[in-house]
Structure 1
């Protein structure tokens, strides 16, 4: 289903597959983006395949794809009802105020001459979208924190903006944090879990080789990262 530059498949059945999208590969093609997950699809006679959701170009990890139209619609409804458990791993600069917690900060898209970005605003801001993120610290050293995130809402750049709003931007985030040339965003869609038409889908993505090297330096390093 994915020609040429194949992408690793984490889970598959007759109706869906979950791939491990690498950082730097867009989900959809764009005016200046020729290579993407979608452009690597082999078109099927009965249509498809289709992306059920998307990941930011800089984010790696679990991405769900539907092979048929009926399962696609059913899966999209499951996402709309927020019946999907999405877990992320991130390496962030600095530390969070506690080992576990949550942040609820509405988000809005902001346009400028150089492009667009998302910013955290107050609930009274017109057109702001509610957004909530849970966090759990998995390890830390004097400079960085390894954190697990659950996005209870699926807003654009949600994890990136919420962490930056707390003063702990994701390592390698040139848009909301510091720019380190050549360092990709250290944000991984670690796991995806949902049930669609009585089919339980569950996939776990391994960290990239670079992220794994960072994690091995943490005092609270967890085994079984593959």
Structure 2
């Protein structure tokens, strides 16, 4: 038996409409059959397809496992009843979303289907902006990625043309991305640049820092500046001048200031008193810096988008004011 608790967002809709989203593999004919057989109930009682759901209702489904088998990533949007998104900006071509720490952007080895792209597609599907059953329909796609435990702005393309342009602009480094992080200690100097080489260890999913190039390494360049101090912690802004895996985490650790909560590049002993579950890192600022023609996205040139509601800033630097 599978049970759904009806929230405020889901209330007010007919039971059959809710079931279409909750169990997309269940055909209309089978749904009515199971309602008659009391294999679909509301609050433990028989219900009609036209029943209007209210907040607090419990929908019980006594259905075969085949209706709830593992969902392929490309179909996951059909199984999301209420998309969870913090939308920073949206227009006809793009969608900027503030990804919460803990959410994956795409399905990973753990098989989690409740990904950021699935929630974006569910939102666009339910709003009517995306019609996946149209053979010529473009599937909304992400233009950049952020680690599971990192929060911040992720760009989604709503059109094929926007995806093509943004992929080119990202490749040509015409997007300016800035991150906020909390680090142990105080960077010396307070502002500067870190430039060296990072080599990725696929087995351990970690990078190592090298002063000179070694086989398999790539140039990594980060600009940073200290924004505030609080006890043994510093609030630092980092700008990625290259985009390597774990670049900020490895670079800040390399100058003796590992990120708060980062067990991979930092010290568990340092992190333990703070009880943080993931690294204090947020992609909070995005600016479009187009050097060449951007076609239908030209209107975005020189526009900056910010996320100011960042939990670790509020917690450790409550008096900090974004400028």
Normalised by the length of structure 1, the TM-score is 0.89
Which residue pairs with 2:299 in the alignment? 199
Partner of 1:163: 252
Q: Structure 1 residues 137, 210: CA separation in 2 closer, same or farther (over 3 Å shift)? A: closer
Structure 1 counterpart of 2:115: 36
Conserved? CA contact 1:29–1:39, under 8 Å: no
1:13 corresponds to: 91
Q: 2:174 aligns with which of 40, 65, 83?
A: 83
Off by >6 Å, runs of 4+ in structure 1: none
State which structure, 1 or 2, has the greater radius of gyration over its C-alpha atoms. Answer: 2
SS at match of 1:54: coil
Tell me whether 1:59 sits opposite 2:150 in the alignment.
yes
Residue 222 of structure 1 corresponds to: 320
Deviations 1:155-176 (A, max 9, x none): 1111011001111111011211
How far off is 1:93 after superposition? Answer: 0.5
Change over 3 Å in CA distance of 1:207–1:188 after alignment to 2: farther
Residue 26 (structure 1) shift: 1.0
Query: What runs of 5+ residues in structure 2 fail to find an aligned partner?
Result: 1-76, 132-136
Against the structure 1 CA distance between its residues 56 and 192, is the aligned structure 2 distance closer, same or farther, given a 3 Å change threshold?
Answer: same
CA distance 1:95–1:83, change in 2 (3 Å): same
Deviation at residue 182 of structure 1 after TM alignment:
4.5
How many angstroms does 1:5 deviate by? 3.6
Could you tell me which residue of structure 1 aligns to residue 103 of structure 2? 25
Matching residue of 2:38: none
Map Cα deviations across residues 112-143 of structure 1 (whole Å, 9 max, x no partner): 4xx32111123330121111000111011330
Question: Within 5 A, what are the aligned runs for 1:183-194?
Answer: 183-194=277-288
Q: Structure 1 167/107 Cα, relative in aligned 2: closer, same or farther at 3 Å?
A: same
* Structure (1/2) with the larger helix percentage: 2
Shift of 1:36: 1.5
C-alpha distance in structure 2 between counterparts of 1:212 and 1:70, whole Å = 38
Q: Which structure has more strand as a fraction of its residues?
A: 1
TM-score, normalised on structure 2? Answer: 0.64
Number of residue-to-residue matches in the alignment? 219
